[in-house]
């Protein structure tokens, strides 16, 4: 059986934390900051954990 290939799109967006959780950047944080509030921009700056429902599928894409 051939080797499992890593999904490169997922690999560029998701990383594994030290405790083994999958972490990603938040959306809506690239441009058009003029109309976003300071509070919203500050909240979007932090990373967020991938939900447990998606975690199993993402681990398979990453080959973990």
The CATH number of the domain holding residue 51 is: 4.10.410.60
Q: What's the pLDDT score for residue 54?
A: 93
Q: For residue 2, tell me if it sits in a domain.
A: no
Strands (E), the chain: 14-16, 22-24, 48-49
Strand partners, 48: 24
Q: For residue 41, tell me if it sits in a domain.
A: yes
Q: For residue 14, tell me if it sits in a domain.
A: yes
> Number of structural domains, the chain?
1
pLDDT digits over 28-64, tens only? Answer: 888 999 999 999 999 999 999 999 999 999 999 998 8
Range of the structural domain that residue 25 is part of: 8-62
pTM: 0.76
Q: Is the pLDDT assigned to residue 9 strictly greater than 90?
A: yes
Q: What's the pLDDT score for residue 30?
A: 85
Reported for 54-58, long-range contacts at CB under 8 A and 24+ positions apart, including other chains, are 55/22, 58/10, 58/14, 58/22
In this prediction, residue 19 has a pLDDT band, given cuts at 50, 70 and 90, of very high
Q: What's the pLDDT score for residue 1?
A: 83
- Helix, strand or coil for residue 32? coil
**Rg of the chain's alpha carbons, rounded to an integer?**
15
């Amino acid at each position: 059986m051939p080797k499992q290939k890593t999904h490169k799109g997922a690999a560029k967006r998701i990383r594994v934390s030290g405790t083994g959780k999958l972490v990603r950047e938040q959306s809506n944080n690239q441009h058009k900051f003029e109309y976003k509030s300071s509070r919203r921009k500050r909240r979007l700056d932090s990373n967020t954990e991938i939900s447990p429902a998606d975690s199993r599928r993402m681990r398979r894409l990453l080959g973990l």
